[in-house]
Amino acid sequence: MAGGTRILPFPLSSSTHLLLLLPLLVLAAPAGGAALSPAEWRVLSLHKLRWGDKDTAPKNTCLPQKSRRQNGATILEMRHHDYCRGRSQSWEEMTKRLMLSDEARVRSLQSRMPTAPSSRIQEGNSEARFPLMSGVKLQTLNYIVTIGLGEKKMAVIVDTGSDLTWVQCKPCLYCYNQKDPLFDPSTSSSYKPIPCNSATCGSLQLPAGAMGGCSMNQTSCKYSLSYGDGSYTRGELAHERINLAGTTVDGFVFGCGRTNRGLFGGASGLMGLGRSELSLVSQTLPQFGGVFSYCLPSREFDSSGSLVLGGDPSVYNNSTPIAYTRVVSDPQLNPFYLLNLTGMSIGGVNQQASGFSTGRILIDSGTVITRLVPSIYKALKAEFLKQFSGYPSAPGFSILDTCFNLSGYQEVNVPTLKLQFEGGAEAIVDVSGMFYFVKRDASQVCLALASLPYEDEMGIIGNYQQKNLRVVYDTVGSRLGFAEETCAYS
């Protein structure tokens, strides 16, 4: 049954009437005669991904309250069920703002690529494991964790596309609204500003898009970091004790932001997990060996995942072996993690596209929707529509142009998308990452992939397609691994 429930024009017995009154569970097989093996399609339960109807008031804090150690890892509790942010706007309004913000981030990332034309730029051994919650709850595009800075706990955005870790500091000349109190350096005995005349200030290599150093009449080392979409943070660099789920690191270099603006809604700042010497990964090399991983949950609003610092796989809950691919080394593309995408398959059908000849693609925790170069997206979209045919169409929404009305279904079968990388590694996109719900009643559900405008732009694997995957970053071994895992903080 491809299009929905059909009403049959014949007399009905009383028993048939009773059967029709029962709730219907419609399991929609791939329409149009597509023959998929069970390994090449997965069932998507639409009702499990719909957002509830109950509005909740915003919380006054974003910080979890509990923690524990397990198998060498320290785990911090993460609240869910609309914890931290209540719903003060409609789902449609929030979705529209999210897509606009996501596109702004993608334009910013593209402008930082060394091949980006200027005209386009002008246009647009111990383990610490702690919970990871969708930043959508804070009206951001990323995921947040809680860290200790000095004696205070801070909720910060996790960003693999940034290097510098920073928080808003008191006194603040201009700060966006955050849920929890600002960090106050005057109350911390371990806070030490980095002096202007120090070797540390002169030797620090700030990430792309940042400026640092000193000018006349300044005593502390300054930084200014712009994210290209109008967001920025400015302040001084300092040393502070950082606490990562029970593992403490003294003398951690971070940014104490005095002037901050942007799409960080509610969080105290940002954790930089990029590839330069300033990133948290580099600064904690003695503690964690340059390895971190995360697992993002399938639901944005009432579930959680984890961020693990350290490389002991015994703390993972993966159900498939970790398959590694090489991280491409390109000094011009620090702090980003760059991979070689060699192919894709949808429903077991390998795709052919000229874009695979170059194949370089970023993996980014801060971008939501995966972006593909036009040749790859066109081939993938055509094959998806061939296999997922017969369903009512719906209008496109923002960057999403392939949409369906699935309000008449409880479950649908979705062809499996596999990303293929250099060395034979595969990342299987979880079925929850295939569709984005524009309307919570499923009357407008869109393929959660989008095309870039130009063939020479850099593809990006967004966090929506990384759900229910253990993604392992081994910066010392210059490799990145994928394994299937049902993400949960447990």
* Strand, helix or coil for residue 192: strand
Annotated active-site residue in 102, 159, 180, 430:
159
The answer to whether 302 is a known catalytic residue is: no
pLDDT value at residue 223:
87
The answer to whether 55 is a known catalytic residue is: no
The pLDDT tens digits for 196-247 are: 887 777 666 555 445 556 766 678 898 888 875 568 899 999 999 999 888 8
Q: Which domains are delineated in the chain? A: 25-54+317-490 (2.40.70.10), 57-88+125-315 (2.40.70.10)
Annotated active-site residue in 82, 102, 229, 364:
364
Q: What is the DSSP string of 199-239?
A: HHHHH--PPTTEEEE--TT--B-EEEEE-SSS-EEEEEEEE
The distance in angstroms from the start CA to the end CA of the chain is 39
Q: What is the DSSP string of 255-309?
A: EEEEEEESS-TB-SEEEE-SSSTTSHHHHTHHHHTTEEEEEB-S-SSS--EEEEE
| CB contact at 8 A, 24 and 382 | no
| Pairwise CA distance, residues 283 & 305, whole Å | 24
pLDDT value at residue 302:
63
The pLDDT tens digits for 52-65 are: 444 444 556 666 54
| CB contact at 8 A, 147 and 156 | yes
Range with the poorest average pLDDT among 107-121, 318-332, 446-460:
107-121
Q: Which residue has the tokens 């028993």?
A: 15
Q: Which residues contact 84 (CB under 8 A, 6 or more apart)?
A: 58, 59, 61, 62, 133, 137, 138, 155, 179, 266
Report pTM: 0.85
DSSP conformational letter for 373: -
| Pairwise CA distance, residues 369 & 385, whole Å | 19
The pLDDT tens digits for 158-173 are: 888 888 999 999 999 9
| Pairwise CA distance, residues 6 & 298, whole Å | 32
Name residue 293's beta-bridge partners.
308, 472
